[in-house]
Amino acid sequence: MRLRTASGTCPRLWRALPCPPAELRLDLVLPSGQAFRWRESSPGAWTGVLAGRVWTLRQERDRLWYTVYGEEEEDGRPTGAAKPHSAETDQILRDYFQLDVGLQALYRTWGAADPLFREVADDFPGVRVLRQDPVECLLSFICTSNNHISRITAMIERLCQAFGRRLCCLDGQPFHAFPSLSALTGADAEAQLRALGFGYRAKFVSGSARAVAEGIGAEGLCRLRAAPYAEARRVLCALPGVGTKVADCVCLMALDKAEAVPVDTHVWRIARQRYGAALGGKSLTPRAHQEIGDFFRGLWGSHAGWAQAVLFCADLRKGQEPAGSRDQNWEGCGQDSCRDGPR
């Protein structure tokens, strides 16, 4: 397996991990709105940035193949070859996709508890929750309020190009690392973000970057992985632009809180219309968030957030909701219950 790019970078080294489609489907997970740094660079191949490196991933039968590109030289020329792969790069992918979690067993457990889950499970195998860098996940999801996936992806790309370190260029497209906290805490960071089209979110991105940098730091954010779910959510909700839904997204997708169920109007509608749950009254209040999360945790168990990710994927692919509804997963917070919107 070889891939040559127009820039001259030719990754000669590919490495494979054992990973059947029932445990991971790249085509379902990577474009589902969990992360915003991946694109389908050719049929079946996904290229993106992970852990400060540029990767291409693809699946063949029961193997997950990957290559990692070398960084540019100081004069801007590509190194011309992939970086050597090793047990370290294997572990980065295993950690990112949480491959130590047996997904097929979870599907069986959820299906036994929930007939509605059984209806979609066979058509949507391998939907996993990613384990992302907490800083990147936090600042990315602040950008999701009142937004849709394609626009969020473009915003994150502009953010990385403006503030992140350049890694390499493939097929004429430059790739950049996600910005460090320090890069986003300068006096003119908010103005720069507004110029990049972030609107009111510019204040929240720069404000949260500054609050984390001056408070618990990136290391402290990572340490929330070991904290109880309620404590992690409380710390996150104290940050500028972070409400209950965004906090739950970060808890689920970066802080190892598999029980976190991000709730917006879309999830609320699923709970009420498909499950007949009389939850939340007439508006999506903090109490409603808690009740709906508790309902799904009671139904699906300790990995309730993972089960919800499968249903989201099913909605997206089957078109069960109006056009663009999956994007509305990031639009539907009522102002009475979340601090993610404009003020």
Residue ranges of domains in the chain: 15-100, 134-254
Whether the per-residue pLDDT at 251 is higher than 80: the answer is yes
What global pTM score does this model have? Answer: 0.87
Handedness of CA 105, 108, 112, 113 (dihedral sign): positive
Q: Between 77 and 337, name the one with better pLDDT.
A: 77
Supply the pLDDT for residue 204.
97
DSSP at 72? P
Tell me the pLDDT tens digit for each residue of 113-133.
999 999 999 999 999 999 999
Supply the pLDDT for residue 312.
83
Banded model confidence at residue 84, pLDDT cuts 50, 70, 90: low
Tell me the pLDDT tens digit for each residue of 284-340.
888 888 889 999 999 999 999 999 999 888 876 765 333 333 344 444 333 233 344
**Per-residue pLDDT averaged across 255-260, rounded?**
98
Structure tokens at 306: 């993972």
Whether the per-residue pLDDT at 59 is higher than 80: the answer is yes
CA 86 to each of CA 21, 67, 75, 181, 259: distance values in angstroms, whole numbers, following the listed order: 23, 11, 27, 29, 32
**Per-residue pLDDT averaged across 165-183, rounded?**
94
**Per-residue pLDDT averaged across 260-283, rounded?**
80
Q: Is CATH 1.10.340.30 correct for 134-254?
A: yes
Annotated catalytic sites, by residue?
Answer: 245
Under CATH, to which class is 15-100 assigned? alpha beta
Supply the pLDDT for residue 205.
97
| Residue 102 identity (one-letter amino acid) | G
Banded model confidence at residue 12, pLDDT cuts 50, 70, 90: low
Mean pLDDT of the chain: 86
**Per-residue pLDDT averaged across 226-233, rounded?**
98
Supply the pLDDT for residue 73.
53
Taking CB atoms within 8 Å and a gap of at least 24, the contacts of 163-169 are: 163/189, 163/192, 165/52, 166/72, 167/49, 167/52, 167/53, 167/54, 167/69, 167/71, 167/72, 168/7, 168/9, 168/54, 168/69, 168/70, 168/71, 168/72, 168/78, 168/79, 169/7, 169/9, 169/72, 169/78
